[in-house]
Structure 1
Amino acid sequence: MRSPASRSPDTQAEKLWSPAPQHTTARALFPALTDTTEVYLDSAATTQKPLPVIETIHRYHSADTANVGRGTYPWATGLTARIARVREQFAAFIGAEHPDEVVFTGGATAAVNAVALSWGLATLADGEEILYNASDHASNVYPWLHLRGLLAGAGRHIELIPYRVTDTGEADTDDILAKVTPRTRLITTSHLHHVFGGLSTLAGLRGRIDPTVLLCFDCSQSGGHLPVDIAALAADFAIFAAHKMFGAPGTGILYCHRRVHDRLIPFLPGGNSAVRPDATGLAAGKMPGLLEGGTPNIPGILALGSALEVLESFGVGAIATHNRALTARLIEGLRPIPGLTFLPGPAYAADAAGYGIASFTLEGISATDLGFVLSRSGFLVRTGTQCLPAGGDDTGSVRVSTHIYNTPDEIDGFVACVRSIAEEIT
């Protein structure tokens, strides 16, 4: 049997995909979009998958299938080397200085929980505080509530302090500054909000808070949609979802700055988790294995490598520019429609803003019903409470989210459809 390196490169994906694909051929790279008249406007929920990703997953399952880090035969050692290369590739993609700052998890939710359980359980003392956005994705709220309950059971009572969001959907840094105290240990926020589309860099906090306060960014929506520079964010932790950046579900990435490595404990101890028993229980091992117990999602990680290559071929900056133009076109088209109200976000910005996400409601029809009617016309959008925590916006909204495979004509068609629906219900 030939090795993977000796196989012919003339796969369907490689025929369609070149190192610098043009926008005119972008859609051909995504099989789910090539034979449908439906318009996919839900990339904040999950992105479509390009052929290189699909074929990478197929290859893993169809040839030289093995585990990683556990064998000395070529199939196993080859996979181990490939996983290491993807780790290095992702570190470079986000500007991380060291590959051991990149941890592979079972998803973005698992990555947030890893921070809560690996760092929070190990370090937080009675009376210390975490500042969070109560309107963030539930996966960046519930883990902290869970941590508070676990610590209370152990006699340590921490405080979770919510902060406000601005009209443009961004974290209100003035409100954060007013709530930071000497007991604050962590500030967590969505880099790009999953419903509002507001970008939060926490730049307003630079030099104004104690540098020992850690910063955690949920980059699930920004990763693959706009450039993410870990150093510019001054992030201690950052969370990414592979399936929202052309990759496969079930693969998350957690960035942990080296300065916090000695404060972490395993959150999933087990095989390959780089820990060893000692007289007191488990002695911590080295990163990233410390947080990678168990068999990883091998095809998902390999697919992430292929997804990164596709993203870099387009240029993440070009993707952001494309999405910004579509967002502005969407808002301009929807704004005059009677009864339509935008949620916080780019619609309230003083100048052109937006990164492919905008949400709204329409008077006279529920978000769920509106989404159903839109789908009957071929427009696929997210509706409902959209993973906002319980007690948030329980009336629901319609969210439009775009990517490189969407076109201005699709936005115009969507706007016309919403306008028609609004005219029918008034």
Structure 2
Amino acid sequence: MGSPLRRPEYPVLVPEVSAAPVPALLPADIRTYFPALAESAETYLDSAATTQKPRAVIDTVRDYHAVATANAARGTYPWSTTLTQRIAAVRAHTAQFLGAAHVDEIVFTGGATAALNAVALSWGLTALRDGDEILYSPRDHAANIAPWFLLRDTLAGFGRRIELVPYAVTPDGQADTTDIAGKLSPRTRLLTVTHLHHVYGALTTLAELRDRMPEQVLLCFDCSQSGGHIPMDVVALGADFAAFAAHKMFAAPGTGILYCHRRTHPALRPFLPGGTTDATLTATGFTGGIMPGLLEGGTPNIPGILSMGAALEVLDSYGMSAIAAHNRTLTGRLIRGLRAVSGVSFLPGPAHGPDDDGYGIVSFTLAGISAADLGFVLAEYGFLVRTGAHCVPEAGGEPASVRVSTHIYTGLDDIDRFVARVRTLAEELQ
């Protein structure tokens, strides 16, 4: 559908973080702005699963339900029109925050999982032809694997065969661009990749590969972990599609973002048609269609979208470069501390790189105890971490692990106390 795609030139995108450690980090009292942390003695180290919510976000959700509750884009009375304007403002802010060139490239979804499924349903169902290929990583989050398998099975039911081609991951946790380059073919239509890996904490930009990509290959980035953690520029990233999870960016659960570059718009079809789908429905089907309403059927998660607006203001107030530098300092401190603990083994990621340069996610195992048991014991001491396979289908070949993930409310004292506790447990096991 639509005219042939042309791949523009993109600059290389790297997070704007200082090369040197940040001694002061962000303000120590920052936790007081996150009520769940201010009122708890636990140390929260699971921000890759979901972030804590600042007071501004909590107040925004409460106020929607308590003051002038209405539906947006439905009425001409002030309660409704005001909400319509507020959502439009959040969309514009989101576009600016992500570096999108146009506001109509921002689609609100039910989450990152819904966003990735939207790519499969709104683009893949109609754009892919028999024999086309999608390149993916078996070590990615299930949300960036399962939609493509479901798409393959659905198309097979209609007589269209597409191939899912797996690519490898390097020892430091990045997508292996050499392996990807060797697997690109004239039938490749989509390359999907995790921007910041949810287990390994490694950043993949595909910068060294993009100038060799065939024009027909679209790039889909799962930015669930990078959004709200490092500076984002979807244009510089070269993304055709990019999915974000608002609840990992300080906002309420149930809201996500799908970025669709304008050059993909002619190939998109409604995947959730409803009362507000911006396309003309005739006796012969849908005709035309205007983004982003083409992909936004039904009543949106209004309090969730409003909470995202508040969350973006919080993130802007601290600055994404400062947040990235904060997490980088914490990551280095954590890796160097755990490296000195006997029995600790790191999964792929920044611990295997040249300078412990990470972005707030580190996964490891400890000899003599399962990840689940270690997580249970750590919770008994007040350290809340994620354990298991971390939503990687069949564990991606990796053992179950403990994952530590940080954000601006995590301090050096949290990391030091955590490392000390792991060291004590390791000594007891020995």
The two structures have a TM-score, normalised by structure 1, of 0.94
Contact map agreement 1:192 1:221 (CA 8 A) in 2: yes
Does 2:166 match 1:166?
A: no
Q: Where does residue 211 of structure 2 map in the other structure?
A: 207
Matches within 5 A, 1:147-226: 147-226=151-230
Does the residue aligned with 1:359 lie in a helix, a strand or coil?
Answer: strand
Q: CA deviation at 1:211?
A: 2.4
Matches of 2:240 and 2:292, distance apart in 1 = 15
> Deviations along 1:371-392, whole A, 9 cap, x unmatched?
0000001100000111001352
Contact map agreement 2:28 2:411 (CA 8 A) in 1: no
Matches of 1:64 and 1:279, distance apart in 2 = 38
Q: Where does residue 143 of structure 1 map in the other structure?
A: 147
Letter in 2 for 1:375: A
> Deviations along 1:13-49, whole A, 9 cap, x unmatched?
xxxxxxxx96133111100111222100000000000
Q: CA deviation at 1:394?
A: 6.5
Q: CA deviation at 1:231?
A: 1.2
Letter in 1 for 2:304: G
Does 2:361 match 1:357?
A: yes
Structure 2 gap segments, 5+ residues each: 1-24
Does 2:350 match 1:375?
A: no
> Deviations along 1:344-389, whole A, 9 cap, x unmatched?
0000011231000000011111000000000001100000111001
Instruction: Say which of 248, 268, 274 aligns to 2:272.
Output: 268
Matches within 5 A, 1:19-418: 23-390=27-394, 392-393=396-397, 395-418=399-422
Matches of 2:166 and 2:128, distance apart in 1 = 18
Stretch of structure 1 that moved more, 405-414 or 274-283: 274-283
> Deviations along 1:164-207, whole A, 9 cap, x unmatched?
01111110100000000000001000100000001000111121
Contact map agreement 1:361 1:367 (CA 8 A) in 2: yes
Alignment RMSD (CA, Å): 1.2
Matches of 2:420 and 2:26, distance apart in 1 = 28
Matches of 2:331 and 2:188, distance apart in 1 = 36
> Deviations along 1:86-110, whole A, 9 cap, x unmatched?
0000000011011100000011100
The percent identity for this pair of structures is: 65
Letter in 2 for 1:338: S
Q: CA deviation at 1:144?
A: 0.4
Does the residue aligned with 2:41 lie in a helix, a strand or coil?
Answer: coil
> Deviations along 1:266-320, whole A, 9 cap, x unmatched?
1111110112222422224110001000100000000000000000000011000
Structure 1 gap segments, 5+ residues each: 1-20
The two structures have a TM-score, normalised by structure 2, of 0.93
Does the residue aligned with 1:240 lie in a helix, a strand or coil?
Answer: strand
Q: Where does residue 11 of structure 1 map in the other structure?
A: none
Contact map agreement 1:151 1:157 (CA 8 A) in 2: yes
Contact map agreement 1:265 1:284 (CA 8 A) in 2: no
Does the residue aligned with 1:358 lie in a helix, a strand or coil?
Answer: strand
Does the residue aligned with 2:136 lie in a helix, a strand or coil?
Answer: strand
Q: Where does residue 8 of structure 1 map in the other structure?
A: none
Matches of 1:22 and 1:391, distance apart in 2 = 35
Contact map agreement 2:139 2:395 (CA 8 A) in 1: no
Does the residue aligned with 1:390 lie in a helix, a strand or coil?
Answer: helix
Letter in 2 for 1:100: D
Matches of 1:392 and 1:326, distance apart in 2 = 27
